[in-house]
Structure formats: C-alpha cells, structure tokens
Amino acid sequence: MAGQKILAMVMAGGEGTRLYPLTAERSKPAVPFGGRYRIVDFVLSNLINSEIHSIYVLVQYKSQSLIEHIHRGWVLSPIIPGQFISIVPPQMREGPEWFLGTADAVYQNLNLIEPHAPDLVAVFGADHVYRMDVRQMVRFHLEREADVTVAALPVPIKEATAFGIINANRSGRIVGFVEKPQVPPPMPSDPTRAFASMGNYLFNTQVLIEALHEAHRLGEKDFGKDVIPRLIATHRVYAYDFSKNSVPGVRPYEEPAYWRDVGTIDAYYAAHQDTLGAEPRFNLFNPRWPVCSSGYQGPVAAIVRGTLENSDVGAGSLIKDAVVKNSVLRREVLLEEGVVVEDSIIMDYSIVRAGAKLKRVIVDRYNVIEAGERIGYDLEADRKRFYVTDSGIVVIPKGAHRADVRRYY
C-alpha cells in the first residue's frame, strides 16, 4: 500500500426500508447502534484505521441526522492535504434525478475524483457492522495486478441464495457473478460455502472512470448488478477473501471476520446481542482498532440501585431502582423504580416510568414509556399500537420530544 494514493467513496444514501420504523425519519447509515455509535461509524472507522484519510460520503435519503452526526464527530484537520471527510448530497449535475444506484452515484461525482488523481478508488457501503483492515485488501489487489477487487465473505452454501454470489477460481479471479442463485457455485477451496459479495470494491482509477462512462451510456445504475458482471469479461476482477482479514486487537473468543448486514430489524437486534457478554462475538472495545463516533459532553452513567446483568449502559443514563438484563441502553436513558427491561434496546433520551416492563423491545429515541406499561408480553395487543416483527420483536418509533434525563439526578 506504500506510495498508493487512495480515495474512498462511501455509499451512505441507503433508504433502509426493511429497517422501518427505525428508518422512518433517518437513513439506514444514520441508525444508532450499540451504546453510542451509528452504523456509518463502522465503515469510517475502518477507513481511518487503515490510513485512508480522503473520504467522500455520498448521502441521499433523509440525510439530515447523518450529516449532523458526521459534522460533529468526523471532522479531520484541514491542515494536512488530502485529509478530509466530506459529505456529498446529490448535485444533479446530469439532470433532475437523484442517485439512481451505487454506480450512478459515483458517476454523478466523477468531478470529485479526477482532481485528486488517486491510484485507487475504494467504493464502500455504509450499511454494515464489522472491522476490516482495508490495507490487506489493497495489498491483495496490487499483488494480483487486479483492475477491480471485490470484498467477499464465505457463507454456508444453504444461506447463499440470499446474496449476490461470486464464482471465482483458485487464484481468486472472478469468472462469474449471480444474484441470489437457486444453485450457488461453491468456493473452490470449500464446497460447503460460497463467496458472497460484501458490496465493497477497490478500483484502479482509470478503470473505474471508463467503466462508469460506459455504464452511463448503457443506462446501467448499479455496481453489483451491472458494472462488475460486465467488467469480469474484459478486466482482471478478483475476489478478496474477507475471512482472511486480520485486525489488531481482536480477541480469541470473538467470531473471526465478523460482518453483519443489519438490514432488517431481526438482524439489527441480533447484532446487538452479539456485542453483549463477557466474551461477545463482536467486542466493541478494541483500543488497537477503535470504532470512533461523535463526542458526548455529558455525565457518566449513574446507578442508584438495581440489578444489571449482561447489559451495556450509555453515558448520562440514570437507573434509579430497576432490573436490566441482556439489554443495551444508549445515552441519557432514565429507568425509574420498579422497571424491568429484558432483551431490549432503549435509545437516547428515553424515559421508562415506574413499574413498566419491557421484553424484546426496541425503543427509538425521545420516547416516554408510561408507568405500569407492559410491552413485549402480549404481541397481539402490541401489534395494535406498534410495529412487531414476525419473530416477536416490538419496535416503538422515534418520539417527538427530547427528555433531559439530567434533571432527574
């Protein structure tokens, strides 16, 4: 990677319809995750930790909270040339349309790429929870003299029908790509698994520019559906095996090469559970590869009394006398006396009044759960008021008013 000039284009315009109602007022990359993060923080942290400091973030749907989050938490020093994280909404340079797909989004912003004259352009999604040392993918790309490299995740063959599947030979060169195939081609080294595209791409710059001009001429809009399959026939396109990516500081008990597309409520909920426990599948605390986010200028969490088991409690939260099990409380959450919270996620600035009980509930920001409420115990009753997944997770949409928990101290 030494001597390579790399520019990153982060695709952060996702509407995230399958995450509704968490995406009712925000884009998917802006959805909160864990005790203090948002989903976009994972890709930005991976790039910065990988010493890629020139980053454009392409936004689109309901982007205001995402824009504010990046402005608060991700401003890099302008003193160093080539060090920036810049937000790019649709400029409509080619007409009145917004971004019509991932390839179209980058095509509409080719004017941003060309002045930097990078050797490589990393086009990464902003919708996933993972750690990745991108430098190892760059090294793989250079060693094979690739024109394009696609990050690929080995998945069990029985689950591969849900992904875009890469057919690669033993050297890693891609010979085919099929979207959600009924009979997925297995990996050459492991017939029980298949290569799933992660939606992260590395391009030689001139190849990208020429491919996008051709895609525009042909009316193509998407990398995975259109551009990559066409380039396979004419260029050196390789699959980088993400399972071989090694990140400093990952503990032996963690799931190797952890990666989750948190695109549904159930997947989002499950990923939170993966961060809990003494030996979590995905430990959010890793000083050698930190996940960064916006700063918080407020008090630490305070626990007057209560029972806490296998849970995370965010800064500024106040627990007066409550039971919390297998749950994540974000910043400035208030739990009053007699509250029971189990297997739940309660987001920032929410209040749970005395005696309320919640089980397998996601409470979005700015909510007040009234005294004595029982949510998650009678799903038929809950469906009349809230969104409930088929697996029985209750989701309470974002409330209207911020509650200042600090006044309860």
Is the preceding omega at residue 21 within 30 degrees of 0, hence cis?
Answer: yes
Over range 143-150, report the average pLDDT.
Answer: 97
310, 185: one domain: no
Q: What is the pLDDT of residues 255-268, one digit of tens each?
A: 999 999 999 999 99
Same domain, 117 and 235: yes
SS3 content of the chain, % helix, strand, coil (to 5): 25, 30, 45
* Residue 400: CATH number of its domain: 2.160.10.10
Whether 276 maps to a domain, the answer reads no
The answer to whether 263 is annotated as binding is no
Domain containing 91 — which CATH number? 3.90.550.10
Across the chain, how many H-helices and E-strands are there?
9, 29
Residues 45 and 121 in one domain: yes
Are residues 170 and 221 located together in one domain of the fold?
A: yes
pLDDT value at 41 more than 60? yes
Domain residue limits at 374: 302-408
Same domain, 250 and 318: no
Residue 197, marked binder: yes
pLDDT for the residue numbered 224 = 87
Of 96 and 97, which is predicted with more confidence? Answer: 97
Q: How many domains does the chain divide into?
A: 2
pLDDT reading at 96 higher than 90: no
Give the predicted TM-score (pTM) of the model.
0.94
Give the pLDDT score at 406.
Answer: 59
Q: Is residue 293 part of a domain?
A: no
How does pLDDT run across 331-368, given as a tens digit for each residue?
Answer: 999 999 999 999 999 999 999 999 999 999 999 999 99
Residue 287 lies in a domain: no
Q: Are residues 63 and 189 in the same domain?
A: yes
Asked if residue 396 and residue 250 are part of one domain, the reply reads: no
102 shares its domain with 240 = yes
Query: 338 labelled as ligand-binding?
Result: no
Residue 87 domain flag? yes
The token duo for 315 is 């800064």
Q: Are residues 244 and 313 in the same domain?
A: no
Residue 325 is assigned to a ligand binding site: no
Q: What are phi and psi of 23, to 5 degrees?
A: -105, 20
